Amino acid sequence: MPDPRQGAAAAVANIIAAIDQLDERERQRLYVQLLASRGPPPTSTRPGQAATVLPNAATILPSPVSNATSPATRVRTYLAESGVSGKDTAPDFTGIAASIRKLITIAVYDPTGLAGTELRRGVQRLVETALNGLDATPSLAKRGIVFELQWVNRDLRAQERTRFGPMQCPVYLADDDKSGSNIIKIIDEHRYPKLVPYMKFDIRQHARDEWGGGLRGTAVPPGLGRAYNRMIFLKKSIFTEGDRMGNKTLITNALLHEFGHVCNITTHATDGTAMATRLTTQRMIGDVLPYRPGDRDKIVREVERLWMLQKSLSS
Ligand SMILES: [Zn+2]
């Protein structure tokens, strides 16, 4: 008797192939429909392993792994907790689509489960707290713009990499390959251009130098003007640095550092803050490092720019 799972796999492959034919707007509409119709994501089935998220080729915006609330609910909760209210500042939540577009999504692709459930939740909480709290004004929260970190239990196919919008940032976990060819391949698959306006250096050479130069990670910024795909690369070795099972503070600090770079911060701090480089393991596991005020402002301005860009793309 044929294995019924084979039929199901073929059906899913057909659905994904059909979704591949849709344009950006149609995929977004489909995603909104799916999101509106589904319940909370499945819970963990294996100890140490987060719930498996079904491939979501519709949008490459996968389900959050660790919570039972929708992005829209989380936006509302965050705004309620941050005290943002009132006629002038209340964001428009008439549709789920509106709130989806206001999420800055950092998605960590972890197909082999390098991070266990506890570590994932810890990093998610620390990163979201740091980024959602960095805007003192808070002009981002007033507009309903919220940062979200997701862990995804799968890898992306090459053609999926080209579908990231301005407000999405993939994070890839990669081996410490001295040549850097493993990460250059991904940059190429994102169709990142050879030359980016206003960027004074060759981003591929820069990524190669950093990856082979003993750093914990590297980042590809989107440049100014039109936003090209931004992306972060972290070395798999940081998942055992400082703690055999991974240290949430160290991984958070590594992520926040690279996130600063993908927001077009091109210099390093010398005062031991988030944008400082080559910090010791001891320093990285101590506390979540704050950004310098100037770096914080750059991130806020970049996110505001991306929001305007996103709005112009979707209107
Ligand atoms: Zn750096």
What pLDDT sits at residue 8? Answer: 62
Q: Give me the mean pLDDT over the 113-142 stretch.
A: 91
For the cut 80, the answer to whether the pLDDT of residue 33 exceeds it is no
Q: Give me the mean pLDDT over the 66-86 stretch.
A: 45
How far apart are the CA of 192 and the centre of ligand 1, in A? Answer: 20
Residue 228 and residue 207: Cα distance in Å, rounded? 16
**Which amino acid, residue 144?**
G
How far apart are the CA of 216 and the centre of ligand 1, in A? Answer: 9
How far apart are the CA of 274 and the centre of ligand 1, in A? Answer: 9
Residue 296 and residue 263: Cα distance in Å, rounded? 10
Q: Which residue has the higher pLDDT, 1 or 44?
A: 1
How far apart are the CA of 260 and the centre of ligand 1, in A? Answer: 8
The model's pLDDT over 208-265, given as tens digits with 9 standing for 90+, comes to: 999 999 899 999 988 877 778 899 999 999 999 999 999 999 999 999 999 999 998 9
Q: Which residue has the higher pLDDT, 69 or 164?
A: 164
Q: Which residue has the higher pLDDT, 91 or 183?
A: 183
How far apart are the CA of 218 and the centre of ligand 1, in A? Answer: 7
Question: Do the Cβ atoms of 90 and 58 come closer than 8 Å?
Answer: no
How far apart are the CA of 95 and the centre of ligand 1, in A? Answer: 38
How far apart are the CA of 266 and the centre of ligand 1, in A? Answer: 8
How far apart are the CA of 208 and the centre of ligand 1, in A? Answer: 13
Cis peptide bond upstream of 138, omega within 30 = yes
How far apart are the CA of 125 and the centre of ligand 1, in A? Answer: 22
How far apart are the CA of 272 and the centre of ligand 1, in A? Answer: 12
What pLDDT sits at residue 314? Answer: 72
The model's pLDDT over 195-206, given as tens digits with 9 standing for 90+, comes to: 877 677 889 999
Domains and CATH numbers, the chain: 19-314 (3.40.390.10)
How far apart are the CA of 308 and the centre of ligand 1, in A? Answer: 26
Ramachandran angles phi, psi of 150, nearest 5°: -125, 150
Q: How far is CA 260 from the centre of its chain?
A: 12
The pTM (predicted TM-score) of the whole model is 0.70
How far apart are the CA of 261 and the centre of ligand 1, in A? Answer: 7
What pLDDT sits at residue 140? Answer: 85
Residue 154 and residue 304: Cα distance in Å, rounded? 30
Q: Which of 19-28, 72-81, 287-296 has the highest mean pLDDT?
A: 287-296
Q: Give me the mean pLDDT over the 37-44 stretch.
A: 40
Residue 15 and residue 9: Cα distance in Å, rounded? 10
How far apart are the CA of 210 and the centre of ligand 1, in A? Answer: 8
Mean pLDDT of all residues belonging to the chain: 77
Question: Do the Cβ atoms of 132 and 141 come closer than 8 Å?
Answer: yes
What pLDDT sits at residue 174? Answer: 97
Q: Give me the mean pLDDT over the 161-190 stretch.
A: 93
How far apart are the CA of 139 and the centre of ligand 1, in A? Answer: 26
What pLDDT sits at residue 107? Answer: 97
What pLDDT sits at residue 313? Answer: 76
What pLDDT sits at residue 253? Answer: 98
DSSP notation for 284-301: HHHSPPPPPHHHHHHHHH
Q: Which of 15-24, 73-82, 88-97, 201-210 has the highest mean pLDDT?
A: 201-210
How far apart are the CA of 310 and the centre of ligand 1, in A? Answer: 26
For the cut 70, the answer to whether the pLDDT of residue 55 exceeds it is no
What pLDDT sits at residue 196? Answer: 78
What is the sign of the dihedral through the CA atoms of 194, 277, 211 and 232? negative
How far apart are the CA of 215 and the centre of ligand 1, in A? Answer: 8
